[in-house]
Amino acid sequence: MSRIGTAGFAAALSAAVLAASAPAAAGEDFYFRAGVGLDGSRNTHFKDRDCASASPAALYGCGQGIDGAPLRSGGDFGTTESYELGIGYVVAPSLRIEAFVEYRPDFAFDGRANFVQTAARQDVSADLSSLSGMLAVYLDLSGAGLPRLGPLRPFVGAGAGFSRVEIEKTRMRFTRTTTVVPGERRVGFAWMLAADFALPLGEKATLDLAWRYADFGKVETGRGRGQIVWRDGSREPFELDLAETRAELSGHGLRLSLRWSFK
């Protein structure tokens, strides 16, 4: 987690502890939340987990690529829709805690490799999805003394948990061949920061519009059998025993969700 992310998460947890120590309000209750969103990823790079690995072989190896950067594939995971379900508890008038799960089905890596053997375009692509579960705290800024924007109530939030990221086979397209890298799934630490505007729709319903930054940790390709395939079929595929490569998956997104109180 970055220093900014750590500081933000610690601040939110401190606010939660202070608020939770106050007497609970009479209106405290459980709620259910369902939402949809759109997420865009940040630029990232796939690199060898160990560039000096010989058995299995490192995909990129150590050294510099044709662009002067370390050998790697650079690009991003594009955008994907997201679907979210959560259940929360209003601890105090300005504080709620929530557990939620979120599914992002359609991330797709689009990038370029920088091998020195060719100056031609080296396209790299792979499909992946993520499933995450987190525990979050949200602080109502209007309850903390900041003014409301008409009927809108601003919130900030932070959360942490785990994510499972599954990447399919990676395809690296060169002039005559395609290198196929095995896929993998990985479970790791995840965290998020959020800024939220809430619009009450009645006694029980609230509409939330939120911006969110999330870090899902590392995406990791599989260790094992890969292939070099000649696209014109002139030769039989050549088998490769490959080591893992890694990239970071993080980005920004918007959420629109509906909270429904059980009280």
Residue 87 pLDDT more than 80?
yes
Domain residue limits at 156 = 3-261
Grade residue 144 by pLDDT with cuts at 50, 70 and 90: low
Average model confidence (pLDDT) across the chain: 88
What span, in angstroms and rounded, lies between the C-alpha atoms of 53 and 125? 23
What span, in angstroms and rounded, lies between the C-alpha atoms of 3 and 19? 24
Q: How many domains does the chain have?
A: 1
- How do residues 167-221 score in pLDDT, each as one tens digit? 999 999 999 999 999 999 999 999 999 999 999 998 889 999 999 999 999 999 9
Enter the tokens of residue 242: 């490959």
Residues in the chain: 263
What span, in angstroms and rounded, lies between the C-alpha atoms of 230 and 178? 7
| CATH number, residue 187 | 2.40.160.20
Ranges assigned E (strand) in 114-204: 123-140, 153-167, 170-173, 177-181, 184-200
- How do residues 223-232 score in pLDDT, each as one tens digit? 999 999 998 8
Q: What angle do CA 188, 80, 200 make, to 5 degrees?
A: 95
Q: What percent of the chain has pLDDT over 90?
A: 75
- How do residues 2-49 score in pLDDT, each as one tens digit? 444 444 444 444 443 343 334 444 345 899 999 999 999 999 999 999
Q: What is the pTM of this model?
A: 0.81
What residues contact residue 206 under an 8 Å CB cut-off, 6+ apart? 31, 198, 199, 200, 258, 259, 261
